Amino acid sequence: MKPARTASVPPDGPARRLSPWRFVVAFGAVSLLMDYVYEGARSITGPLLAHLGASAAVVGVVTGAGEAAALGLRLVSGPLADRSRRFWAWTIAGYVLTAVSVPVLGLTGVLWVACTLVVAERVGKAVRSPAKDTLLSHATAATGRGRGFAVHEAMDQVGALLGPLTVAGVLALTRDDYAPALGVLALPGVAAIALLLWLRARVPDPIAYETDAGTPASEAPSPVEPRDSGLPRSFWAYAAFTAATLTGFATFGVLSYHLVTRHLLATATVPVLYAAAMAADALAALATGWLYDRFGARVLVVLPLLSAAVPALAFTDTVGIAVVGALVWGAAVGVQESTLRATVADLVPAGRRATAYGVFAGITGVAALAGGTLTGALYDVSVPVLVIVVAGIQVAALVLLWTTRAARSGTRVSPRG
């Protein structure tokens, strides 16, 4: 089989290639539009499944399984992307799957079909994410890892803010009719795919950004296939730490289930709260991304602290405190989606990076499934027990972070750390 063509610059020369920051911003616009789609849907997953007859445990399992699919299947898509070098093809295919799944979700009235579509939307994320993050990582070699990924994540969250607000507005106008609320999300999905195709035509080989930024030749990927060297020990240490934090992290599906079934918020208000959580996500991503470029991975100490606070706040019966808990949940997600991705890019050479993103996501995917299942099941049993168990898990994660850093004698995951 003839390998995919790899060139250092597009055919029209380096003068026509987008600058690294423009590439990051253009990719951020794609993610903004697609986040408009799937975050709009995710903002009402809990109420939608509850409307179809699901219990809190079912919501926890389905949303946890969705996150596990979004992360775990990258064990396959990551290495395949590295071997094929067709990063753009994997990225486009994943976005298309998500863009199709969401509008169809609003049309079903059967619980198991809805559950399948919730997971299918997450599979789309699994297909695209290792390749997408690899493409983005090349440009962030020139912009700064933490800042580049943080800006991309912040733009994500603009879409994550607009999508839930749009869904909330349509639900209010249609008296909680999910079909038009999700159907309207087809429009930004089409726009995202069109912009992505334009970006691919403009910058077919983003690896040039990294080589231009001074990546050593020994770390550059082969034009035929990636290097066969294993992943570094520091990568595995941080993957273990991240898995521990996610094992005690609740999904928004369980949070929104609590808010609706306890009559703390109306169904149409839940997406508004989700939008606010996404704003907290963006702010946390920008803050920790800037701190990461200055201080390195030690800023990750904030993640277990935020994760432990979520159930203690979000699962109360006081509206104000529960809302604060949802905002803390959003801030924790912002750290997960920006700084953790930047860390992987700094830990692993370019030729193995899609594989590393896939393996990292696979490990954390198992933890996400455990976290969604655990928090949903414990919620049905006892909220105080849930709070205590999650706090214990996050303390263990802090210990793991400390011991892994100590075991490596303070080794930094990047020159800045």
Spatial CA neighbour of 236 closest among 129, 339, 348: 348
In 3D space, the residue among 216, 239, 408, 262 whose CA is nearest the CA of residue 336 turns out to be: 239
- Taking Cα atoms as reference points, which of 119, 293, 71, 91 lies closest to residue 192? 91
d(CA 38, CA 159) in angstroms, rounded, equals 9
Residue found by looking up tokens 């050593």 in the block: 216
H/E stretch holding 184 reads none
Instruction: Give residue 404's pLDDT.
Output: 60
The rounded distance, in Å, linking the Cα atoms of 370 and 352 is 27
Domains and CATH numbers, the chain: 19-205+230-407 (1.20.1250.20)
Q: Which helix (H) or strand (E) holds 195?
A: helix 186-202
* Phi, psi dihedral angles at 106 (to 5 degrees): -70, -15
Rounded-to-integer distance, Cα 217 and Cα 353, Å:
15
pLDDT of the residue at 214:
57
Tokens of 132: 């997408």
pLDDT at 3: 43
CA–CA separation, 257 and 272 (whole Å):
15
363's enclosing H/E stretch is helix 353-381
Q: Supply the pLDDT for residue 98.
A: 92
Query: What per-residue confidence (pLDDT) applies to 33?
Result: 94
Q: Which residues of the chain have pLDDT under 50?
A: 1-15, 216-228, 407-417
Cβ pair 370, 65 in contact under 8 A: no
